[in-house]
Amino acid sequence: MSMRTKRWVVGVDLGGTNIVVGLLPMEGGEVLGLRMRPTDSHRGAKFVVDRIIEMVEQSIAEVLSMHGGRRDDIAGIGIGSPGPLDRKAGVVINTPNLGWRNFPLRDLVANAVNLPATLDNDANCATYGEWWLGAAKGVDTVVGLTLGTGIGGGIVLDGRIYHGVSDVAGEIGHMTIDSTGRRCKCGNYGCLEAYASGPAIALRAVEGIEAGVETVLSDMVGGRLEDITAATVYEGVVAGDEYATEVMKDTAKFLGAGVANIINVLNPEMVVISGGVTRAGDYLFAPLRAEVRRRSFRAAEERCAIVPGELPGTAGVVGAAAVFKKERYGRV
């Protein structure tokens, strides 16, 4: 290993839809050489890995040429991926969204670019990113929730990602909040994700429209109800639509039950909520905080800030880089 001080860490955030790559200065700061491209997982695992490698090389080249420096200044690569994973082996055990099974992602990337690499869960990375450089900077105990196609969760205790005994910890999206409730795509009934993920919000909106409520939402998509997304609902809220506001409030209530559970069990200093739906701002956060207050222990709730993430789009990259730093140097 060179004695030259390493200046940058690469972060890779592999998602079902997009791959995001960037470089972080070792001491933290802005993401440099940021790149985002579609994952195109239908083209196969090799294609996806090649795309990651290409993006990593491009990011590195851009940063080295703009900031001066040489390849030896790059410490390594942190990779965030959907799970479940075997972190130690660097293997993706099974990812329905990508269609992978026992796929040695970490070493394929590491060997191709000739840099050491680490692998961790994407939701863990997003939470760790908010902890390192975002909303939870300086906070010891943080729980992160990312609302998207699914609901990802991450737990940071005393400045470390809490992984549990088999790297599954933090699956907050699949917490039962209604044991006889809606079927979730995981096979269980009444998961938080079945109520508050993007598709679940859209589905609840469509159900109401089909039942005959008056709303601008159907006009917003030209009557094609299948085009309604969580973003449509958010736009309806901003446009002052009563029904959209109701759907958002319901979302906040379901989410509030989940967040209250987390607060009662883990008693964290902060819960960071990320994802597109947080653009709804106080339309989401005001009823969310009220529901949490109603459902959790006061001594826990009054010590816990519930805030939106501050690194939209890059939390995963930042956190993946932080994981590399932590595993390589013992501290972030």
Interface with a copy of itself (CB under 8 A): 84, 93, 140-141, 153, 155, 157, 162-172, 174-181, 186-190, 253-254, 257, 260-262, 264-269, 294-297, 299-300, 303-304
State the minimum distance, in angstroms, from the CB of residue 165 to a copy of itself: 5
Residue 177 or 209 with smaller CB distance to a copy of itself? 177
Residue 25 or 181 with smaller CB distance to a copy of itself? 181
Residue 50 or 86 with smaller CB distance to a copy of itself? 86
Q: Could you tell me if 52 and 21 are in contact, meaning their C-beta atoms sit under 8 angstroms apart?
A: yes
Q: How far apart are the C-alpha atoms of 175 and 279, rounded to whole Å?
A: 24
State the minimum distance, in angstroms, from the CB of residue 278 to a copy of itself: 21
What are the CB-based long-range contacts (under 8 Å, 24+) for 229-233?
229/198, 229/199, 229/202, 230/198, 230/199, 230/201, 230/202, 230/276, 230/277, 231/198, 231/276, 232/202, 232/205, 233/201, 233/202, 233/205
Cβ neighbors of 124 (< 8 A, separation 6 or more) are 80, 154, 155, 161, 163, 170, 319, 323
Triad 72, 77, 81: Cα angle to 5°: 170
Residue 1 or 299 with smaller CB distance to a copy of itself? 299
State the minimum distance, in angstroms, from the CB of residue 197 to a copy of itself: 15
- DSSP code of residue 7: -
* b/e code 57-76 from CB counts within 10 Å (16+ = b): eebbebbbeeeeeeeebbbb
Residue 28 or 181 with smaller CB distance to a copy of itself? 181
Residue 55 or 145 with smaller CB distance to a copy of itself? 145
Residue 17 or 166 with smaller CB distance to a copy of itself? 166
State the minimum distance, in angstroms, from the CB of residue 256 to a copy of itself: 9
Is the four-CA dihedral 223, 226, 232, 234 of positive or negative sign? positive
Tokens of 255: 């989410």
State the minimum distance, in angstroms, from the CB of residue 81 to a copy of itself: 15
State the minimum distance, in angstroms, from the CB of residue 53 to a copy of itself: 28
State the minimum distance, in angstroms, from the CB of residue 55 to a copy of itself: 29
Q: Could you tell me if 245 and 237 are in contact, meaning their C-beta atoms sit under 8 angstroms apart?
A: yes
